[in-house]
Amino acid sequence: MTQDQVPPAVDAVSSAGPPATGNDPASAAAPPNRRSALIRSGLIVAVLFVVFVIILPQYVDYQEVAGSFQSLTAPQFLVMTVLGIIAWILSGLVFSALVIGLSVIRATMSWLILAGIGASVPFGPWNMGVLWVVMRGWGVKNAPATTGIALYGVVNELSRLFLPLMAVVLLALSGELSSQDKAGTIWVIAIISIIAFVVATALIFAIVRSERVADWLGRTGQRVTAWTLRRLGRPGSPDVSGAIHRFRDQFGEVLRARGALSLGLSVLSQLGWTVVLIVALRVCGVPESALSPFEVFAVYGLVMVITIIPLSPGGAGVPELLFISGLTAIAPPQYSSAVTAGVFLYRLYYWFLPIPMAWILLKAVRRGKTMLPSTAELKADARGTAA
């Protein structure tokens, strides 16, 4: 999966060695079964076919899109490449904040591997497991590697929920919110995401800072869950209280020390990618009079919130469709092809280029081994860590 679909935190971390559950990055490194691989690969092909062969040709002329790309100059590609690299680095800084001792270079490599493997081998959280093995090969201990990778998902999703609030504030300050025909939709999604951000952030930090709050939430969550399952006629109840306390014990120290910093860096990385999208639109021929930076940021924030839910394996096709639909709904009709070209150019750096970069990096860091870790290697690492 891509950065668009980074999974949430896991609740199984052990300082003694990789946990035995299947929900943590260590266990997720095991290759998926053949049936699952074929199904998910087939879904990617199906989504790409529907989006790019059936839906988009009804709204854009691919020949005009190709013309926009052909008109790009070498300096424009150079500017886009520099901005893309800066965005990669900003995205990697979150790993530097969550994993003590991880350099900026290795943190950037971590993001590229997570994004590239998730996009090219979209088998659930397997990209997290691959990154875990890579970090362990760099000498990062099990607990910091597992905690950092797991918390990256939490921080990434919180930063996405924060974006619509920033967008609404910027649109309001610029006076553009009142002039938008679709301001109502922006407000609805923004309010929902703001509430989700405030509630989720408050709960997480309350849990890690107060054991009494964790106890209360555990008891309350256990009762609500048990009542709901009884009403549904399903026997048994998950250990909600135990999960909350495991989260507090395993992730609390990192969140207390570096949670705010990592969240701020994650928001900064989202702003960096917004700049990449804005510049991509400009070099492809979409002027500011057609789409202002604030309008682009508003669409970017809404798409980031919507794609928190994994709409397609590996983030294939759906984000492009959402970006193009949202931006063309604001821009004048004559810029539809230029908007599509700009979105494709942005996705080149966000989604496509990390794929070959990830495989190149895996080849380099796992010299003498297979690029993807095997189950046998994972078990051997687990035994060595435990010892």
Determine phi and psi for 178, rounding to 5 degrees: -70, -20
Per-residue confidence in pLDDT tens, the chain, 387 aa: 444 444 333 333 333 333 333 445 555 555 566 676 667 667 777 877 888 888 888 877 888 888 888 889 999 999 999 999 999 999 999 999 999 889 999 999 999 999 998 887 766 667 888 898 899 889 999 889 888 998 898 899 889 988 888 887 787 777 766 555 555 556 666 677 777 777 777 777 777 677 777 777 778 877 777 777 777 777 666 777 777 766 676 677 787 788 889 999 999 999 999 999 999 999 999 999 999 998 899 899 989 988 887 766 566 788 888 999 889 988 999 999 899 999 999 999 999 999 999 999 999 998 878 777 766 666 666 555 544
In the 8-state DSSP scheme, what is residue 51?
I
Measured CA distances, 47 to 43, 121, 350 (Å): 6, 15, 19
**CB under 8 Å, gap of 24 or more: what pairs does 217-220 form?**
217/244, 218/242, 218/244, 218/245
Q: Please state, in angstroms and rounded to a whole number, the distance separating the CA atoms of residues 41 and 182.
A: 36
DSSP letter for each residue of 231-286: HTT------HHHHHHHHHHHHHHHHHHHHHHHHHHHHHHHHHHHHHHHHHHHHTT-
Query: Hunting for tokens 């790309």 — which residue is that?
Result: 69
pTM: 0.80
How far apart CA 346 and CA 300 sit, in angstroms, is 11
Whats the size of the chain, residue-wise? 387
C-alpha distance from residue 118 to each of 34, 314, 329 (Å):
17, 6, 30
- Residue 82 pLDDT: 98
- CA 177 to chain centroid: 27
User: With contact defined as beta carbons under 8 Å apart, do 114 and 360 qualify?
Assistant: no
